[in-house]
Amino acid sequence: MQTFLQILVSCSFLILVSGEALTRLDSHDVVSNFIRDDVKAWEVPASLRDNYVYYWSGFDEEGRPLWILELGKWDIRKIVLSGNKTVSNFHKFVDKAIFNIINSMDLNSTEPDSPSQVAGLIDMDGFDYTQLASVPTVEFILKKFKYLVPVIYKFVSHGYIVNTNAYAEILIQLLRPILGSVMERVEIFGTNKLKWLPRLLKAFPRDQLPPWYGGDDTYKPIKAYGGGFAGMLPKTGNIYKWIPVSRDSFPVSAVEAGLYKGNKIFIGRAFYGRSLLPGRFSVPDRKVFIAGQDGEIGMFNYEILSAPPGSVKWVDYDSTISQIPLNAIEGGHAELFHEKLYIGRYQYAESTFVGCVQSSRRTLSVQVEGRVEVFAERTGVQYLQIKHNFLSM
């Protein structure tokens, strides 16, 4: 008589070769199969929304969206045993999840640094014998993953699986022949947090992770679906933030502004009286240079703008538009009426000059060769904004 494990292995093999298994998608169908109006409009039932959690956590060091799936807590056995209607809804639920993940990327962008893939973290904590002991459940999981192979292959750059206990390890071994070369992009860790936590913190910025994965206590996801995260709003700090910098430190994800006299410069800001003004940070000088009333001023107390790679872009400034776009990045405020100031730059003679865009005057104020210049509109004037796919979904 076959052992239980032999039954599972046979199940995996049959799914791999059987014509009755769900058909794998052709490459050109990968996107169109999920980006559909009916998927977008479908409302997730509360029973699925509240018990099957996944979330857009933040971004990796390359600016790719990071998605977290707490798969070990998903009771797939309950889905399988609940009947055809629940199973059908779960298929739609998975399609909706893929829809959301694909939409976190800007696939229509022509910019070379726009993310075309995502990073993934799967937590198997909670996966137990009851899931593995149900052959229909295992068969369902394997079929579902086979259906998803093309989209995983196309859109997942790299992934991590943590809290892999003995039962989860068996499931992963059954999935290996189905996932094929996709597994080469995945790092698998056991239940020892001391081993996988340093690897996650090396791959992802701390402020892009929940506290239970080594992240900050003030963490909020970009977008969460279900469970304890339901209703959480995106926090701008997950996209960009201002970091106080000492003479011995400098943020890895500092936003570049361009070149100034052949040297790379970054976005900084500093107080000037009661105004908080953006300007250029010079690494050799260890100062932020802002446009003061009497000319250029170098400030020793400052903050540096930090953002995930590929999450921001420079766009041409149009003074004929009365309002600053909602995704423009705030750089500080003016003393008068505490008016918001936005980050702008002017490129001239192979150098970049950083300053502030003041919407009430429709002008860009920058320091040029030690003096302050005010531009209403001119070729080379740009402001900094968040790319639309990095905004709230």
Residue 247 CB contacts under 8 Å (≥ 6 apart), including other chains: 286
What are the start-end ranges of the E strands in 283-358?
Answer: 287-292, 295-299, 303-306, 312-316, 330-333, 340-348, 351-358
What CATH architecture is 4-235?
3-Layer(aba) Sandwich (3.40)
Q: Pull the structure tokens for residue 113.
A: 């640094």
Convert the pLDDT of each residue in 141-156 to its tens digit.
999 999 899 999 999 9
Q: What is the pTM of this model?
A: 0.58
* Confidence at residue 12, expressed as pLDDT on a 0 to 100 scale: 45
- pLDDT beneath 70: ranges in the chain: 1-32, 107-113, 226-238, 246-248, 318-326, 337, 359-363, 366-380, 388-393
Burial of 326 (0-12, 13-18, 19+ CB in 10 A): exposed
Q: Show me where the domains of the chain are located.
A: 4-235, 241-390
* Confidence at residue 24, expressed as pLDDT on a 0 to 100 scale: 44
* Confidence at residue 17, expressed as pLDDT on a 0 to 100 scale: 42
* Confidence at residue 21, expressed as pLDDT on a 0 to 100 scale: 36
